[in-house]
Structure 1
Amino acid sequence: MFDPRSLGVITTAMVTAHRINKNIEKWLGEKNVADTLSQSVPNNVTSEMGLALLDVSDVARQYPEVIAYFEKAEDGDIFKELPKLEGGTAVLNAMQNYLDKYGMRCSGEIDITKTRWWEKPSLLVPIILSNIKNFEPNARITKFEEGRLEAEAKEHDLLRRLEKLPNGKKKVKKTKKMISVLRNHIGYREYPKYDWICRMFIYKKALMNEAAKLVEKGIIKSKEDVYYLSFEEFREVVRTQQLDYEIITERKKAYDYYETLAPPRLMTSEGEVIFGEYNTENVPEGALAGIPVSSGTIEGRARVLLKMEDADIEEGDILVTTFTDPSWTPLFVSLKGLVTEVGGLMTHGAVIAREYGLPAVVGVENATQEINDGQRIRINGTEGYVEILD
């Protein structure tokens, strides 16, 4: 399990990234170099999750019957049918090994009611098919090495240029030490949440076992009904074996209503809604402004997605969505860029975009409405804007 004392290491790494950017911009006039230096770092459990699914895809790509089944598979128990197919057992074992480490994850995973990958493995099928379509075998090694070599080349280039400056040897020594701290520790940022989500899944399985008993006794209609009870209410129902089911009915109606509301872009932990405008000094006329979180400029097809399970990604696509969390990471290996409506410098999408070397702009208001699926767009992750090209 994750050692809370390591939070100091993570904080140090993030502060170091900021200092590298500040120093290099001051000394060499180059912005956001820590983005490149953060590519393919070791010990990032979330980026490793995306690369590991490439290995599962490599197993599946060997068996045409499995691929054909996946292309028509629905939301049922895919594991039940796989052993009946040629190569199905091998694919089943690969998926189960993957789920042993990452199966507790899902979209919106901090909500304990959300369906985990272990509960519905079919959620991974669209990404496996996209990986087979977009990559050659052994892409995991290739993708990681590409990022590592790019980061290494950037480090060598920076140190070479710094050495030529006044007091260059001192600048080189200081920068080299900071890069070492960044690359050896920034990956650990993902472990606290990974550990938390692992424990949440254990709790959920225990709670759903109790919910199943309530269904058997006719107290609730389905296990998911308990999602509309507080923990204390749930415990009381288990203790008394009684429930006014009208509570569930009314809360389901309220939930459906809340789902229609659009949350504000920025809200503090005290519930205060903050409004403001971006500095558009460097933003071209007609472009959508946002927060630059991973440097670089890229053009490509916009793939507007609201749910990960709807993914049909082609290599070179730019993902446009409301927000991402770790469950979206397996998609990132096929992407060339990221645009989200919600996010900041240290939210999931920003961190993984830097890890994979993808230009990214977040906090783009109404991006999923302003950009149509299939449109060609250009994103500038250095200045923070999105241009719609057609």
Structure 2
Amino acid sequence: MVRTFPKFGYNPVTGEWNDSLIGEFLWSNVNVSEAVPDVMTPSTWSLWWIYHYEASPFEFPGDLPFCGNICGRPYLNLSLIASLYRAIGRDVRKELQGDMIGSAPVEFDIPYIPFSPLQVLWKTLPGLLKSQRNSARDIAQIPEFVTATPGWCRSMRAALQNCLDASSLLSLWKQSIKPGMVQACGLLRSAALNMSDRATKLHLELINLVGETDANAILSNLSCATGDLASLGPLLGLEKVRNRQLSCEAYMEHYGHRGPHEMELFAPGSDEDHHWLEKKLGEFNLSAKDVESLLANQRAKYFSAWERFVAKYPGKVKTTRRELDKVSVAARDREAVRSEVTRVTRFVRGFLLHAAEITGLGDGIFFLSLDEMCDVLAGDRSSVVRIPARREAYDKYSALPPYPPIIVGHFDPFTWASDPNRRSDYFNARKTERVTAAAVIRGFAGAAGIVEGIVRRIDCVEEGNQIQPGEILVTTTTNVGWTPLFPRLAAIVTDVGAPLSHAAIVARELGIPAVVGCGNATMLLKTGDHVRVDGGVGTVELK
């Protein structure tokens, strides 16, 4: 059964969307803000609905959203997850740390939903069993999907050019593009869960055996075991273009779909800027270090950490090596599928641009959901009247600073943003807490290493030209679109992020010290500050 696109917290009069108002819940964007760091247009939000609902076998009691839209930004409803487990006698607060709630303490305030055990089992068990079956099938399909998707996109672009009216566009969407998108999202869900489950379990085991620094070093050689990770591709590709080992045309074919705003349908792609690669190469050439040297240095650290492990635990070498190989394959699969899902997403933008020409909506089409776009193509233009209000709401949300990664209860971003003493790490409607100065900022150990240096605090990747070689980047979050800046950096510090995030994995592979998921780094640090970053234990100390 296909679930229709919901509008839980949507106000059709104002165009505003705030799912924090539908109940008192704990919301987190730690796991999702890397993929969508910007305010979403309605078209992008409906694309996320495909990922979280149409491509998911899970159903939850109470008709409550697992992924919600809080004033244009995606958040996961962790009250829902914690309450499901609580109903069957499990406390999952520790499991929620890291990829879900960042570095918030285990005793964090969680509003629970009163589910009965029978209610939970009746509603969720069928989806859980189906998910396990789907996962095995999906993992087996990943190699074919990764190989076939570039050709599929080319064939869809050719078919799109032959669509000269709304009827043919609608037919192409329903018969080919939408089913392809649902399949791609399903594969990504399975690959992400497979990677997270394996890597989290092994990471915790290694920390218990050798400590966090060596554990991170041992997990930092993922690209060597299985070939280059897809998230390293844009960075390695730039170096190959610079060294004349790869043509510009080949780079654009392999990596041109990746970028900092790659999952936002409203954001222009590299193919819409003829000077895009030239500008990227110019920025990349400012780096003082070459990528291969960084990778080689980190591989040496990995081998040293692995030798220490072998000497200390000879009886665990075989099983640990086997698990490391499995994590490497899972990481390769997740990164490769994510890259190809991004390729499909960028094609969907091209489809919407073509539909905009046919319907005369211009860029207003991005302020319709994908279902509403289909309605317009079918002749029902009743949703078009809502575009101006939605655009106004989008502009207002986009003018605000990024919201806290953790939100508890009802959240008004305008009231929050107007408070000069606001907290940027979390918001709790149940109680008010003010910013307090701290000599040491704590987050997750994203990549090991200790370095002292000068902070460069920026809000977006477009400000990356301000970064001088050897500075320490402090920002809200990073993603694959930021990685060409990484060789220029001495260290990376982010408010939002987790040890298994795409950018954290790239930093670890390159051996660039990183502390991710601090929550309050941008609130407490400014450009010019002198800090000591310890990526092995996850601390940033103001000197």
Distance 1:247 1:15 in 2: 42
Q: 1:209 aligns with which of 346, 354, 370?
A: 354
2:294 is the alignment partner of 1:143? yes
Q: Which residue of 1 aligns with 2:317?
A: 172
Tell me the secondary structure at the aligned position of residue 292 of structure 1: strand
Separation of aligned partners in 1, 2:388 and 2:340: 34
In structure 2, the partner of 1:351 is: 505
Instruction: Give the corresponding residue for 1:44.
Output: 229
Partner of 1:373: 527
**Is residue 228 from structure 1 mapped to residue 363 from structure 2 by the alignment?**
no
Residue in 1 that maps onto 2:449: 296
User: In the TM superposition, what are the counterparts of 1:158-307 in structure 2 within 5 Å?
Assistant: 158-162=309-313, 169-214=314-359, 219-220=360-361, 223-240=362-379, 247-261=386-400, 262-266=402-406, 286-307=439-460
Query: CA 1:112 to 1:345, structure 2 compared with 1: closer, same or farther past 3 Å?
Result: same
In structure 2, how many angstroms separate the alpha carbons of the residues matched to 1:332 and 1:199? 26
Give the secondary-structure state (helix, strand or coil) at the position aligned to 2:406. Answer: coil
Does the C-alpha gap of structure 1 residues 124 and 346 become closer, same or farther in structure 2, counting only changes over 3 Å?
same
Asked whether the 8 Å contact 2:288–2:487 carries over to 1, the reply is: no
Q: Is the 8 A contact 1:378 1:386 kept in 2?
A: yes
- Residue among 109, 118, 137 paired with 2:271: 118
Question: What is aligned with 2:159?
Answer: none
Asked if the contact 1:10/1:189 (under 8 Å) is kept, the reply is yes
Count of residue correspondences: 333
Write the distance in 1 (CA, Å) between the matches of 2:517 and 2:188: 29
- 1:142 & 1:27 partners in 2: Cα distance? 29
Q: Which residue of 1 aligns with 2:172?
A: none
Shift of residue 46 of structure 1? 0.7
Q: Which amino acid aligns with 2:234?
A: M
CA spacing shift, 1:373–1:382, aligned 2, 3 Å: same
**What per-residue deviation string (whole Å, max 9, x for no partner) do you get for residues 312-356 of structure 1?**
244322221111122112222332321112122322332222222
Change (3 A) 1:291 1:27: closer
In structure 2, how many angstroms separate the alpha carbons of the residues matched to 1:298 and 1:243?
58
Distance, in Å, in 1 between the alignment partners of 2:206 and 2:369 is 51
Map of 2:63 onto structure 1: none
In structure 1, what is the equivalent of residue 238 of structure 2? 53
Q: Is the 8 A contact 1:57 1:129 kept in 2?
A: no
Tell me how far apart the structure 2 counterparts of residues 109 and 52 of structure 1 sit (CA, whole Å).
18
The structural deviation recorded for 1:253 is 1.4
- Unmatched segments (≥5 aa) in structure 2: 1-144, 147-183, 412-425, 430-436
Shift of 1:265: 1.5
Offset of 1:225 from its aligned partner? Answer: 2.0
Cα distance in 2 between the residues matched to 1:239 and 1:8: 33
The equivalent residue for 2:170 is none
Deviations 1:361-388 (A, max 9, x none): 2223343343222433222223333223
Q: CA RMSD in A?
A: 3.4
Quickly say closer, same or farther: Cα 1:134–1:6, change in 2 above 3 A: closer
- Give me the whole-angstrom Cα distance separating, in 2, the residues matched to 1:240 and 1:182: 49
Q: Tell me the TM-score normalized by structure 2.
A: 0.54
User: 1:64 maps to what in 2?
Assistant: none
1:331 aligns with 2:485: yes
Q: For 1:140 and 1:289, how far apart are their aligned partners in 2?
A: 28
Distance 1:27 1:235 in 2: 55
1:37·1:155 contact (CA, 8 Å) conserved in 2? yes
2:176 is equivalent to residue 31 of structure 1: no
Contact map agreement 2:475 2:521 (CA 8 A) in 1: yes
Contact 2:454–2:530 at 8 Å: present in 1 too? yes
> Any conservation in 2 of the 1:58–1:132 contact (CA below 8 Å)?
no
Change (3 A) 1:127 1:298: farther
Task: Name the aligned partner's letter for residue 232 of structure 1.
Answer: D
CA distance in 2, matches of 1:27, 1:210: 56
Return the offset for 1:251: 2.0
- Measure how far apart 1:170 and its partner are: 1.6
For 2:541, what is the secondary structure of its paired residue?
A: strand
Contact persistence 2:218–2:306 (CA under 8 A):
yes
Letter in 2 for 1:250: A
Deviations 1:269-295 (A, max 9, x none): x99x8759xxxxxxx952223333333
Answer whether contact 2:213 2:537 (CA < 8 A) is retained: no
- 8 Å contact 1:124–1:309 — kept in the other structure? no
Contact 2:220 2:505 survives alignment (8 Å): no
Deviation at 1:44, TM superposition (A): 0.9
Picking from 279, 295, 304, the partner of 1:153 is: 304
- Where does 1:95-114 land on structure 2 (aligned, <5 Å)? 95-114=248-267
SS in 1 for 2:356: helix
Q: Summarize the Cα distance change of 1:243–1:12 in structure 2 as closer, same or farther, 3 Å threshold.
A: closer
1:311 to 453, 461, 464: 464
Contact 1:378-1:388 at 8 Å conserved across structures: yes
User: How far does residue 45 in structure 1 lie from its aligned partner after superposition?
Assistant: 0.5
Aligned-pair distance for 1:124? 4.7
Which digits, 9 at most, give the CA deviation of each residue in 1:78-135, with x for residues without a partner? Answer: xxxxxxxxxxxx9xx8333211112122223222222222223545555422332324
Q: Per the alignment, do residues 129 and 301 of structure 1 end up closer, same or farther by CA in structure 2, a change over 3 Å counting?
A: farther
Q: What letter matches 1:171 in structure 2? A: K
Counterpart Cα distance in 2 of 1:375 and 1:300: 8
How far apart, CA to CA, are the structure 2 residues paired with 1:243 and 1:198? 31
Q: Give the structure 2 partner of residue 94 of structure 1.
A: 247
TM-score, structure 1 normalization: 0.73
SS of 1:251's equivalent?
helix
For 1:127 and 1:180, the matched residues in 2 are separated by 33
Q: Which amino acid aligns with 2:215?
A: A
